Amino acid sequence: LSKLKESLVKQKEKLVFNLALRDLNSSDAETRQNAVRRLQPNLNLPEVSEALKKRLGIEPDEDIKNLLSAIVQKYEAPRRKDFTDKIEPAAFCALPIKNQRIILGTISSPESFEASRDLIIKLLSSDLPRQILLEIIEKANSFGKKTDAKALSRFFQHRDAPVVAAAIKACGKLDIDSLLTAFNKFLQNDDPRIKAAALEIFLVADKEEAVRYLSSMVRSVSLSVRRQTLNLLPLLDYAAAKPMLFYLFNSEPNLELKLKAGCIIAANPTTEGVVAIFKASHNEQGAITPDFADLWQSALEAAEPVLGKPRHLLEEECSKETAKDLKAQEAPVQNYSYKKVARQKELAAKGIVAKEKPFDIFAFFIERQKMVLCAVIFIVIVPLISSLRFSGGTSGSHLPFSNKRTAKENSQATGVETGSNKFPSFSVANISAGFGSGGGTSVFFPAIKGADDEVKKIRDEMKVANKKTLKEYISEMAKQEANKGFADFYTNENCLNALDSIERRNYIEAKEFLSKALNDNNVSQEAKMTACHYLIGVAYELGDRQTLGIALDKMFGMVPPGDNPKEYNPTSVRAQLDRMARMREISPDQVRQVVSKMAGQCKAFTPEVQQKFIEGFSNMQAKFK
């Protein structure tokens, strides 16, 4: 058993090492920097030193280039006595960064760190460049003691996210108790580097809970969040990481992340994994696609000795398995089958031709016209935002961005029976602004002034009455177990401030209040879902794609997989959000072509609907320019 454990540890270390070498060529600068730091202890290995030297010649990021330069350069370390006796903090800070790195390079063991402890503690209080500060924290992480965590915890409030992340990792290793008071705050931090560092410690402190947390992160609409999750998966045992790896490998739209997930699957050979890689790397004719050729070869090399089968036999089995799956998909569903019968097949059995879904029509046309970007924005992003901005939320309240504040809505707000299980369809913004349009005073008709004052008086009285009614219904709502969580939204200070800001059209302020509510552990999940709906509307009004992504990310994270409409699954939406950055490239003519084609395929696309689509997309382009 001990030999097996030792073998598994070595296998995991080898996997992390190989992934670090691969990450040196990542398109993401943060991923490359982490790879350099992971490889630094193995500089004595020829393949590592060669890879770092090669990267130095092509690295575009200045910080990473400086880090690589300090690592790969050959120098003679000064004697330890000279370092401890003669270098003072002021003198050290006055040295060029290159010389500071050389001096720090002499700390290469717990003994040398102990000999330099006094100086290092003083340096932590000095104003040092970020890269030097990171290197000192890294030395403390590698060679420090539990007592050093206190000195490092001061960097939890540092202005630079990489410094905060490094301090979290170091304190988590040296003394995890020093993180307890701020741990939840780090996990909920919007900066992905801080969040990833906290998750890395979370995996050690509470693996079971961390795995559940990571399971929601792999479904994030944010590319950076999914990237961080994938970087953390090698730290888990393969059994725990397997469901997340297969989910990413099968659904990830980003090729780089998809290949990386495939590499981890290939490094832990199973029949299921080899078949999955075969399906992804081969087309319908059985030919290997160029992007996946290396991955397939790696999978075969790893699987041969473990599964005890030669390559040709593995390929033959994978081909049979793929053919079997295709045949099962094409087979008609039997009348006695308990499988869910699709409506398309039901209609076909009756001889009725079903209308083609707009999404399918659109995808077909766009594939032909090379305009995928326009399609996904129309079909997924625009309807999703529209439905969340203008339809009732889960709590039954309208979002405050609709101008349809009619008398009917106000009568609904005041005429619902107390204790009803269906909460009325209204919002604080609708009630407070529902009577906000009074007649103006005319210089030609002074008599109107008196009537206007009377109307204003009545309007103010009704406004007070409506707010009182709202308060009563919220109180009643809070007593109902099913609605208790939603009632929290209308009693939370940040949520109420956000509604007030929205009413005043101060969307920047509203965004801040809603973000605070979403990061508040005391707010119920139902209230957070409602806050997400409002935040999506705010993000749209501001043209803030990042906030839109965060709101969708948090919303999908709270909805159990499978409960969302098929067209709004996290995989589809995250791909469309990534493409929204290119929305400005779409010309009005292209939009008209798409809408015209849709009108030809679907009779529901009347001229009025077409014009609304064109205007809606134009407005969206202007907002997100």
Contacts of 261 (CB under 8 A, 6+ apart): 230, 233, 245, 248, 249, 252
Strand partners, 282: 288
In the 8-state DSSP scheme, what is residue 79? P
In a domain, 332, yes or no: no
For residue 183, the enclosing domain spans 2-235
**Token pair recorded at residue 155:** 């960097």
Q: Is 68 within 8 Å of 36 (Cβ atoms)?
A: yes
Chain position carrying tokens 């869910």: 340
Residues 599, 610 contacting (CB under 8 angstroms): yes
Torsions phi, psi for 115 (to 5 deg): -65, -25
Are the beta carbons of 144 and 109 closer than 8 angstroms?
no
Among residues 200, 235, 270, which one ends one of the domains? 235
Which segments in the chain show pLDDT lower than 70?
1-13, 15, 72-86, 329-485, 560-575, 578-582, 584, 625
- In a domain? residue 416: no
**pTM for the whole structure:** 0.46
**CB-based contacts of 604, cutoff 8 Å, min separation 6:** none
Structure tokens at 248: 């990413």
- CB-based burial of residue 394 (10 Å sphere; 0-12 exposed, 13-18 middle, 19+ buried)? middle
Domain end point (choices 180, 207, 235): 235
Greatest CA span in the chain, whole angstroms?
98
What pLDDT, on the 0 to 100 scale, is given for residue 26? 82
Buried b (16+ CB within 10 A) or exposed e, 487-504: bbbbebebbebbbbbbbe
Per-residue pLDDT tens digits for 188-208: 787 778 888 888 888 887 788
Q: Which of 171, 139, 140, 175 is nearest to 154 (CA)?
A: 171
In this predicted model, what pLDDT tens digit does every residue of 415-472 receive, in sequence order?
Answer: 333 333 333 333 333 323 333 333 333 333 344 444 455 555 655 665 566 566 666 6
Q: Which whole-number Å values give the CA distances from 625 to 87, 584, 585, 618, in the listed order?
A: 53, 6, 10, 10
Determine phi and psi for 392, rounding to 5 degrees.
Answer: -65, 140
Overall domain count for the chain: 2
- Residue 136 · residue 124 · CB < 8 Å: yes
Q: What angle do CA 60, 62, 63 make, to 5 degrees?
A: 125
The Cα 569–Cα 402 span in angstroms is: 25
The gap from C-alpha 169 to its chain's centroid, in whole angstroms, comes to 21
Q: By C-alpha distance, which of 380, 323, 31 is closest to 192?
A: 31
Last residue of a domain, which of 179, 210, 235?
235
* pLDDT in the model for residue 528: 87
Beta strands in 146-271 (DSSP E): none
In angstroms, the first-to-last Cα distance of the chain is 60
What does the pLDDT read at residue 419? Answer: 36
Considering the domain architecture, whether residues 360 and 224 belong to the same structural domain is answered as no
Q: What is the pLDDT of residue 1?
A: 55
Q: How far is CA 410 from the centre of its chain?
A: 38
468-475's contacts with Cβ under 8 Å and 24+ in sequence apart are 469/413, 469/414, 469/431, 470/413, 470/426, 470/428, 470/431, 472/418, 473/416, 473/418, 473/423, 473/424
Q: Determine the 3-state secondary structure of 282 from DSSP.
A: strand
How many CB atoms lie under 10 A from the CB of residue 522? 8
Question: Buried b vs exposed e over 125-150: b needs ≥16 C-beta within 10 Å?
Answer: eeebeebbbbbbbbbbbbbbeeebbe
- Residue 263 in any domain: the answer is no
Percent helix, strand and coil across the chain, each to the nearest 5:
75, 0, 25
Q: Let me know if residue 509 belongs to a domain.
A: no
Q: Contact, 497 vs 513, CB < 8 A?
A: yes
Looking at the domain assignment, is residue 471 inside a domain?
A: no
As given in the structure block, the two tokens for residue 295 are: 């991955």
Does residue 617 lie in a domain region? yes
pLDDT reported for residue 59? 84
φ/ψ of residue 398, rounded to 5: -80, 150
Q: Is the distance from CB of 492 to CB of 517 less than 8 angstroms?
A: yes
CA-to-CA distance for 333 and 535, rounded, in angstroms?
Answer: 43
User: Would 605 be classed as within a structural domain?
Assistant: yes
Under a CB-based contact definition with an 8 Å cutoff, are residues 464 and 536 in contact? no
> Does 20 lie in the same domain as 155?
yes
In a domain, 153, yes or no: yes
